[in-house]
Structure 1
């Protein structure tokens, strides 16, 4: 819903510079976590992964709904080597153990819309159970550095699909994120022409973005803006989508109004974000195209709790409409993904989004799938995240009670494991 301001980097930035800086960031984070003295930089450090046996818990496979009591999950080098009932799994004697008796064992959760601007936010996301995520954009490419941090020190950040900078009419200080963007500051009408839109996307892709984030409506989180006002037309959105596709990337689109949602979907976006007033005709189109719906119920519910009367009334009005849209989408077979839209230094638990999906009318298992198997497919991680089967990442959340009986337990994992490293 929003990205909070963050200070720009001090040096001229290139894609090589971003990767080098992020490698240094990862090295620094590893040093700080271990308490060791900094050493001279000598290039990217190899990723730190772990060996671990999680034993004795009740294992839930979100893909099948199968529940296995007294289960064992064996993780080698950060990857699941075996998982299943104790009698069927050979447990190496030399591996460290994590006792999960009396607890439920689920794969690490996925936050499909989050704004991670700092290392502290990245760490908080993991500790709250989001071991994988997709960025909803940042102001100065911090998410690209977080992605590299996660590759080198996975216990410090979620596995991340980075979106780079927001492709929006008014970039504001984000034009300082890259020297190649500063020319856009001279444009009288902002980033609106086909050439300007293509340029903004091209800079993102050159910087290593995995996805492209754009908008069709104004923001709901600012009282002075009208979230039903459309800022990009179908033709402009089509330019963004076409430019992203030329680089082999998909587009996620901030959307609220009925017409805006329809224009975004028919322009070819990969996922519709927020989508409060998405109409039935658009949901049918989404089902036909395989377009994902990331409703960010957590963010809309948060508006209702705002001290600003305009935002509070907006949240109270929008939340029931959005819940109905979520249930309609699910009933039609539109794929759903859970995302908190956390930003501004506060990381919301992805379990809260699952809880709101359940409140919208999804079954507990289907709600859990929006933050596991469903989100994994959206992020292109369906062979890596979302399940605890052989070959998947050794990302685990332990829960104190049965999430199929009460999904709210997902908001407070009792333990998180990231790439075989117990946190």
Structure 2
């Protein structure tokens, strides 16, 4: 009997027993206008979003709930935005070359925490980080997921996979220095590339990112064409898919774009010189273009700055590539290519991600089509439909709001006034 009484007393102390657990508090959001379905553009008025345990449990007509409801009756409410291409651990600038040999993984992670907060407060509740030092980005991703660091949900690639001597390799240092600071992300030959993919996934990569062609910001005057061989690309994609990972490719030149898509790749970052064959290959189910127009706009401005920090090789490529990116996106959109939102932030400034929307509209997308790229399209592209892309019962409460009507002026999304991620408010 003494044991029974002790157990009963403990149950009472813990708040359990005959009376049951205490009810979980609910949060109510009063939404004046709600983007109920980004896929169709359906907007509903005067809705209450009910949130419990970080998830949406109901969306009700009218304004219901207590006096402490979050009042967004004068706002346009939409799902948390998704940026499918960022680099949270750094921001490009004149110190890039020095930073590579002085910054530790821990320092990169600290910078990443700062940039992650800026990105979240800009309304982006999910991002794909497509290239950062493994230890830094995986630690940041996990710290955010554990609730210890404020930031968007992170899908992380870690080290970008590159051929030896390709755009993901290092240039401009003494050879002995290069040998010391090279990351374990380089491969030559199909079997070696399979090994690197397996090791990258073993380290914790959620997605695999490769450098399929030349790049703009490297100090390598080797053009913008294909760098991996067809066999190497096929080995990379096949290995990643067998291990349950999608593969995306940095690619400017048409030959690299097409070789990667023929190998079964899932998406192209940039796509500047896509051609008719590219468009045909993009029609394969589930394949996306991530245009990163903000990166193109940024490097064009850098290239035109006579006092800028770009090397001669990088400046020449910036002035060649940057001005062409909007035209390539316009052609792809007109042909019905699926587009997902991505900025390549670190080239552009973290927190300015929403500037991409206006550039997408400049490329021919309507405002709702541009918003779709950062909601349902990006969620499908990244395979996270069950977690993000819409405000729906059962999903995490990732919710943002803005004054005015972004369906009329998409630039309003550069001024997000309310941010909630998984039921927690980060900006109000």
Give the TM-score normalised by structure 1: 0.79
Cα deviation for residue 160 of structure 1 reads 1.7
Alpha-carbon distance change, 51 to 327 in structure 1, aligned in 2, over 3 angstroms:
farther
Matched, 1:397 2:400: yes
- Aligned counterpart in structure 2 of residue 290 of structure 1, from 272, 279, 286: 286
In the other structure, the counterpart of 1:73 is 49
In the other structure, the counterpart of 2:14 is none
In the other structure, the counterpart of 1:408 is 411
Aligned 8 A contact 1:139 1:165 in 2: yes
1:126-137 → structure 2 map (5 Å cutoff): 126-137=120-131
- Cα separation, 1, equivalents of 2:25 and 2:263: 43
1:90-105 → structure 2 map (5 Å cutoff): 91-93=64-66, 96-105=68-77
Aligned 8 A contact 2:163 2:169 in 1: no
Aligned 8 A contact 2:217 2:318 in 1: no
- Cα separation, 1, equivalents of 2:117 and 2:183: 38
In the other structure, the counterpart of 2:163 is 169
Cα deviation for residue 391 of structure 1 reads 1.5
Runs of 4+ more than 4 Å apart: 170-173, 182-187, 309-317
Matched, 1:82 2:40: no
In the other structure, the counterpart of 2:266 is 270
Q: Please provide the CA RMSD for this pair.
A: 2.8
- Aligned counterpart in structure 1 of residue 79 of structure 2, from 107, 113, 119: 107
- Cα separation, 1, equivalents of 2:339 and 2:26: 33
- 1:41-64 CA-partner distances (Å, limit 9, x unpaired): xxxxxxxx9953221421113122
- Aligned counterpart in structure 1 of residue 376 of structure 2, from 370, 373, 378: 373
Structure 1: give runs of 5+ residues left out of the alignment. 1-48, 174-181
Range moving further from structure 2, 295-304 or 154-163: 154-163
Structure 1 SS opposite 2:284: helix
Structure 2 SS opposite 1:252: strand
- Cα separation, 2, equivalents of 1:68 and 1:341: 33
Aligned residues, how many?
A: 362
- Structure label with greater radius of gyration: 2
Alpha-carbon distance change, 273 to 186 in structure 1, aligned in 2, over 3 angstroms:
closer
In the other structure, the counterpart of 2:245 is 249
In the other structure, the counterpart of 1:12 is none
1:50-61 → structure 2 map (5 Å cutoff): 51-61=26-36
1:230-379 → structure 2 map (5 Å cutoff): 230-306=226-302, 307=305, 308=308, 314-315=317-318, 317-343=320-346, 346-379=349-382
Structure 2 SS opposite 1:339: coil
- Cα separation, 1, equivalents of 2:183 and 2:297: 38
- Cα separation, 1, equivalents of 2:286 and 2:74: 39
Range moving further from structure 2, 269-278 or 76-85: 76-85
Aligned 8 A contact 2:56 2:397 in 1: yes
Alpha-carbon distance change, 319 to 361 in structure 1, aligned in 2, over 3 angstroms:
farther
- 1:60-103 CA-partner distances (Å, limit 9, x unpaired): 1312211122222121111111225316xxx4439x52211221
Structure 2 SS opposite 1:93: coil
Cα deviation for residue 375 of structure 1 reads 0.2
Aligned 8 A contact 1:149 1:157 in 2: no
In the other structure, the counterpart of 2:146 is 152
Alpha-carbon distance change, 186 to 223 in structure 1, aligned in 2, over 3 angstroms:
closer
Structure 1 SS opposite 2:213: coil
Cα deviation for residue 112 of structure 1 reads 0.3
Aligned 8 A contact 2:159 2:183 in 1: no
Range moving further from structure 2, 192-201 or 398-407: 192-201
- Cα separation, 1, equivalents of 2:316 and 2:405: 35
Aligned 8 A contact 2:162 2:169 in 1: no
Structure 2 SS opposite 1:236: helix
Aligned 8 A contact 1:272 1:294 in 2: yes
